[in-house]
Amino acid sequence: MFSLIHYLQAWRQYGAAVRELSNLNDRELADIGITRSDIPQVAWDHARR
């Protein structure tokens, strides 16, 4: 049960990170060193921490 709760929390964090990063323009994304295609991986890495 704990792993299911942990996964659901990570999924919520993933969604929030994707939304936040998607709201940035390409210049802002470049300033932090990612491209638009990197967003899903960066968001998932963040959520799993």
Q: State the alpha helices, DSSP H only, in 1-49.
A: 2-22, 26-31, 39-48
15: amino acid identity, one letter = G
- pLDDT tens sequence across 1-49: 669 999 999 999 999 999 999 999 999 999 999 999 999 999 999 998 8
Q: How far is CA 25 from CA 18, 22, 37, in A?
A: 13, 8, 13
Chain segment 30-40, per-residue pLDDT in tens: 999 999 999 99
Q: Identify residue 26 by its one-letter amino acid code.
A: D
